[in-house]
Each structure stands twice: as C-alpha cells, then as structure tokens.
Amino acid sequence: MKKINLYLILLIGMISSLISCKAQTVYPLNSDFDEIPQNSYLKDLNNELDSYIGTYTAIYQTKMITLYITKENMKYFKSLKIYQDALSIRYIIKDATNVILQDTLTMNFQENQLKHTIYSHGTYPSINTVWFNYGGTNCGVGWGSIELKKISSTQLLWEYRPNDTILDSSRCPQGTDINIYLPETKDLVFTKQ
C-alpha cells in the first residue's frame, strides 16, 4: 500500500511538473516583444481592440475601399513566436464602375500566411491608435505598416506606409499584378457602416 501511494505521489508530481512547464504566461497586449519569453500570450486585457471592430468605408481617388475589421483571440505569430489578441483587416476595393480590383474578404488564408494579410501588433492608447503590419500583395509588393486612429465612435483615420521591394523575373513572373490597391496616403477618413 505504501508503494502504491509513493508511486501515485510521484505520478501526480510528474504530471503537475509537465503541466507547469507547458503553461503559458499571459502579458498585457502592449508588452515589449523583446522582454517576454517565447510562446507568451499578449492578451487584450483592457478590451482596447474591441472598439475598432466593424465594417468601414472610404472613397479615395475614385476607388471605394471597404475594410472588414475583426478580432482574433490568441493568434499565433510564428515570426515573433508569440500568441496575441489581434485585429485582422480584410478588404474589398472597387473602381468607379463598381468593378472589384482586389478582394481579400473571400480569400482563404493559410496559417502564418503573410501575403495579403493585415494584422495588428499593438496599440497606442494615449492617442487612440492601432498599428498593423501588412504582408503586401503579389511578389511582396506594398508590404509595410498601417495605422488606424480612432477619431470618433464611427470614424477612423488611415495611414499606410508601404516599403520598397526590388523585383526581378526570378522573384516575380512577368504579367503578375503588382499594383497596390490600398490607399497609399495619410489621414483618409473611414466611416463605420
């Protein structure tokens, strides 16, 4: 009987040790990525992201841009090796004749896909702003950063800063659509629908 109790105590100790080794530490959303252990979870403890969720539209240079902003809890970012509550932006861009130029709303994204994705990586609560990384379009064209600043309960200011990409035929086949359809501008007002 003593031997069974000893084995039971050892088994329970080993199981609890394994569980605690796999346990995930939760940090506030805006914790510094460099200051936290890998596989930590940056949680939106103050619901900072929720007020951005919704469908927003704007007109820019005769194009109608519709943003669909949703929240993904515990999204894993492989490049950062963290889990994070994040906003995801999908969009549809139409020309003046209502022809769809680009549509990411209906795309099926693979896990850890960068192309066409827009995910938030933090907020600046003191200035009502969320910052995003954009993975770019075909051949990585247009990758860069986006900021959305909440100016009212129904309006956001958009700022998109694309980075440069050097293209050659080995990286980007001839005939590939390398247009950037997102508005490359600052202070574009999007209104909630």
pLDDT of residue 21: 45
Q: Domain span at residue 150?
A: 25-192
| Domain contains 33 | yes
Cα–Cα distances in angstroms (integers) from residue 140 to residues 81, 114, 178, in the given order? 22, 9, 9
pTM (2 decimals)?
0.83
pLDDT of residue 117: 92
Tokens of 147: 């900021």
- What would the mean pLDDT of 66-89 be, rounded to a whole number? 94
Q: How confident is the model at residue 8 (pLDDT cuts 50, 70, 90)?
A: low
Question: Which is more confidently placed, 69 or 116?
Answer: 69
| Domain contains 16 | no
| Domain contains 19 | no
Number of C-alpha atoms within 13 angstroms, CB side, residue 169? 2
| Domain contains 177 | yes
| Domain contains 117 | yes
| Domain contains 17 | no
Mean pLDDT taken over the chain? 87
pLDDT tens column, 132-162: 999 998 888 999 999 999 999 999 999 999 9
| Domain contains 11 | no
Cα–Cα distances in angstroms (integers) from residue 75 to residues 36, 41, 68, 110, in the given order? 16, 9, 17, 13
| Domain contains 18 | no
**Total structural domains in the chain?**
1
Q: How confident is the model at residue 18 (pLDDT cuts 50, 70, 90)?
A: very low
pLDDT of residue 20: 43
Q: How confident is the model at residue 3 (pLDDT cuts 50, 70, 90)?
A: low
